[in-house]
Amino acid sequence: MTVHLGLPTIAATGASCASGSAEAAPGQSSSNGVLPHAEHHESALLDRYGRRATDLRISLIDKCNLRCTYCMPADGLPWLAKEQLLSLEEITRIVRVGVRTLGIRELRLTGGEPLVRKDLVDIIAAIRAEHPDLPISMTTNGVGLDKKAQALKDAGLTRINVSLDTLHAEVFEKLTRRDHFPRVMAGIDAALTAGLTPVKINAVLMRGVNDHEAADLLHWALERGLELRFIEHMPLDADKKWVRDGLVTASEIREQIREDFTLEVSPENRNGAPAERFLVKDASGSTLGTVGIIASVTEPFCADCTRTRITAEGKVMSCLFSSEETDLRGLLRDGSDDDALAQRWKDAMWLKPRAHGADEGIARDEFVRPERSMSAIGG
* 76 and 30 both lie in a single domain: no
* 228 and 308 both lie in a single domain: yes
Cα–Cα nearest to 45, from 335, 346, 367, 292: 346
- Residue 109's CATH number: 3.20.20.70
- The answer to whether residues 312 and 62 touch, using CB atoms and an 8 Å cutoff, is yes
Q: Please indicate, yes or no, if residue 2 is contained in any of the structural domains.
A: no
Residue ranges of the binding site: 57, 64, 68, 70-71, 108, 112, 139, 163, 200, 234, 302, 305, 307-309, 319
Q: Measured in whole angstroms, how far is the alpha carbon of residue 208 from the centre of its chain?
A: 26
Kindly state the DSSP code that residue 350 receives in the 8-state scheme.
H
Give the integer Cα–Cα distance in Å for 138 and 66: 17
* 55 and 24 both lie in a single domain: no
Q: pLDDT of the chain along its 379 residues, tens only?
A: 444 443 333 333 333 333 333 334 333 444 456 666 545 556 799 999 999 999 999 999 999 999 888 878 777 778 899 999 999 999 999 999 999 999 999 999 999 999 999 999 999 999 999 999 999 999 999 999 999 999 999 999 999 999 999 999 999 999 999 999 999 999 999 999 999 999 999 999 999 999 999 999 999 999 999 999 999 987 755 556 666 777 899 999 999 999 999 999 998 766 667 889 999 999 999 999 999 999 888 888 888 899 999 999 999 999 877 778 899 999 999 999 999 999 999 999 999 988 764 445 565 555 556 665 555 565 6
* 344 and 231 both lie in a single domain: yes
Residue ranges of the binding site for [4Fe-4S] cluster: 64, 68, 71, 302, 305, 319
Q: Please indicate, yes or no, if residue 12 is contained in any of the structural domains.
A: no
CB atoms within 10 A of CB 52: 17
* 130 and 34 both lie in a single domain: no
Q: Which domain holds residue 181?
A: 51-377
* 35 and 124 both lie in a single domain: no
Q: Please indicate, yes or no, if residue 9 is contained in any of the structural domains.
A: no
Beta strands per DSSP E along 204-241? 227-231
With residues binned 3-state (H G I as helix, E B as strand, rest as coil), the percentages for the chain, rounded to 5, are 30, 20, 50
* 117 and 27 both lie in a single domain: no
* 120 and 32 both lie in a single domain: no
Cα separations in angstroms, 150 against 40, 100, 139, 215, 272: 42, 29, 16, 31, 29
Q: Please indicate, yes or no, if residue 11 is contained in any of the structural domains.
A: no
Q: Please indicate, yes or no, if residue 101 is contained in any of the structural domains.
A: yes
* 24 and 129 both lie in a single domain: no
Give the integer Cα–Cα distance in Å for 88 and 114: 13
Q: Please indicate, yes or no, if residue 63 is contained in any of the structural domains.
A: yes
Pairing of strands 307-310, 315-317: antiparallel
* 232 and 95 both lie in a single domain: yes
* 33 and 58 both lie in a single domain: no
Write the DSSP string, 80-131. Answer: PPGGGSPPHHHHHHHHHHHHHHS---EEEEESS-GGGSTTHHHHHHHHHHH-
Number of domain units in the chain: 2
Runs of H (alpha helix) within the chain: 88-101, 120-130, 145-155, 169-176, 181-194, 214-224, 250-257, 329-333, 338-350, 374-377
Give the integer Cα–Cα distance in Å for 41 and 102: 11
Q: Please indicate, yes or no, if residue 302 is contained in any of the structural domains.
A: yes
Q: Please indicate, yes or no, if residue 10 is contained in any of the structural domains.
A: no
Give the integer Cα–Cα distance in Å for 79 and 104: 29
Residue ranges of the binding site for GTP: 57, 108, 139, 200, 307-309
- The answer to whether residues 131 and 104 touch, using CB atoms and an 8 Å cutoff, is no
Residue ranges of the binding site for S-adenosyl-L-methionine: 70, 112, 163, 234
Cα–Cα nearest to 206, from 161, 239, 255, 243: 243
* 39 and 146 both lie in a single domain: no
Q: Which residues pair with 46 in a beta bridge?
A: 52
